[in-house]
Chain A
Amino acid sequence: MSDPMRIRAAVKGEKVEVKILMSHVMETGQRKDAEGAVVPAHYITKVTASCNGRDVLSADWGPSVSKNPYLSFRFKGGAKGDKLKVTWTDTAGDSRSDEVSIG
């Protein structure tokens, strides 16, 4: 089971500023373990964010994103109290969604 994301979303002037920390190994599939066996690839391929059901971000990710990724972005048209939902999906087919109220 994956750990919850840490999401912060706050109105900053005309925009909403979002900061997300995700807990993920982000294995590239290029690394070998102590025995010389390839560590299988396991990384996030898709991140989406929606505000009250409206898509505000969709990103395709690959193996070059770091372990425990940090994502920050701003979008227009969000207000205090709106629900921001973030979802990631990885190469193992796992996915996780977390939601916060915009502050």
Chain B
Amino acid sequence: MNTPRATRRALLVGSLLLLAGAAQAETSTQDAIAEYREMFGDDNPAELWQSRGEALWHTARGPKQANLTACDLGLGPGVIEGAYAQLPRWFDDTQQVQDLETRLVSCVTTLQGIPREEFLKVKFGDGEKKSELEALTAYVVAASRGKPIALPMQHPAEQAAYALGKAAFSYRAGPHDFACATCHGDAGKRIRLQELPQLTTAAGAREAYTHWPAYRISQGELRTMEWRLQDCFRQQRLPQLKFGSEVAIGLTMFLAKNAEGGTLAAPGIKR
């Protein structure tokens, strides 16, 4: 496989040369995406995932033949409105800080009795192989549209998760000695033709966090925050990020906290 090498070369070219042509191409990519969003108006292909998620939420499934309407996402059993705006958070029953995705796994395993491995077999969907996790996530997230991000942040474990995420964000590692901050710590950076959001400022973090999960035009799939993070781990050439690991939750906590006060508009539409 020579993809990593090819990408690395592209990355070097992207970061060393600021060609006028590249800048122009970038603008037109950006314009094309803006135009694409405009054509949809209030619509978004993510709605296809939302309706699938809504159906899944209400369908009795698994060994326990239960639906998910008793799932507690932090605001009480069955309450989904506004729940995503307050995640990640500490949960007494699991004794863990959980993001939406790991919390959904908890609900599916405890309420429906579906084994974790089975539910996560297709974490991230691809065409005919549809992910239930992505559908449920889209459904729950959409119920927080218009809500400001407001994390509880009272529990020591929540504060520890934030601290871990913060440290991880600037922890340099891998063959390039990159940290998240290498790509996302300054304003006006770009890789290939993509603008890189500055995730350490409120404005940058809000712009990013409030639109995730998102429908990715380039993949024709709805992607979640856990997907976004594992893909950036890949871009950083780190070992694969474990789903729901402390680092994944910590980074999500760090990003959510930086974006606090921002109004959720997810699922969004991304490149």
Q: Using a CB–CB distance below 8 Å, which chain A residues touch chain B?
A: 3-4, 6, 8, 19, 21, 23, 25-27, 66-68, 70, 72
Which B residues touch A21, using CB under 8 A? 43, 45, 47-48
Interface centre among B40, B45, B47, B128 (most CB of A within 10 A): B45
Which B residues touch A3, using CB under 8 A? 48, 51-52
Contact assessment for A67 and B48 in the assembled complex, using a CB-CB cutoff below 8 Å? no
Given contacts A19-B43, A21-B45, A25-B127, contact A68 B220 (CB under 8 A): yes
Bound: A20/B114 CA distance, A: 34
Which B residues touch A8, using CB under 8 A? 43
* Chain B proximity of A1: nearest CB distance (Å): 11
User: Is the CB of B39 closer than 8 A to any CB of chain A?
Assistant: yes
Residue tally, chain B, CB below 8 Å to A: 12
Q: Using a CB–CB distance below 8 Å, which chain B residues touch chain A?
A: 39-41, 43, 45, 47-48, 51-52, 127-128, 220
* Chain A proximity of B39: nearest CB distance (Å): 7
- Chosen A-B contacts, 18 in total, with CB atoms closer than 8 Å, are A3-B51, A3-B52, A6-B43, A6-B47, A6-B48, A6-B51, A8-B43, A19-B41, A19-B43, A21-B45, A21-B47, A21-B48, A25-B127, A27-B127, A67-B127, A68-B220, A70-B39, A70-B40
Residue of A nearest to B130 (CB): A3
* Chain A proximity of B3: nearest CB distance (Å): 11
Contact of B48 among A23, A25, A26 (CB under 8 A): A23
Bound: A3/B46 CA distance, A: 13
* Chain B proximity of A22: nearest CB distance (Å): 8
Contact of B220 among A6, A19, A67 (CB under 8 A): A67
Given contacts A4-B51, A6-B47, A27-B127, contact A66 B220 (CB under 8 A): yes
Bound: A68/B219 CA distance, A: 10
Which B residues touch A67, using CB under 8 A? 127, 220
Bound: A4/B45 CA distance, A: 12
Which B residues touch A72, using CB under 8 A? 39
Bound: A21/B39 CA distance, A: 12
* Chain B proximity of A88: nearest CB distance (Å): 14
Bound: A6/B43 CA distance, A: 10
Bound: A3/B45 CA distance, A: 12
Besides A3-B51, A72-B39, 19 other A-B contacts (C-beta < 8 A) = A3-B48, A3-B52, A4-B51, A6-B47, A6-B48, A6-B51, A8-B43, A21-B45, A21-B47, A21-B48, A27-B127, A66-B220, A67-B127, A67-B220, A68-B45, A68-B48, A70-B39, A70-B40, A70-B43
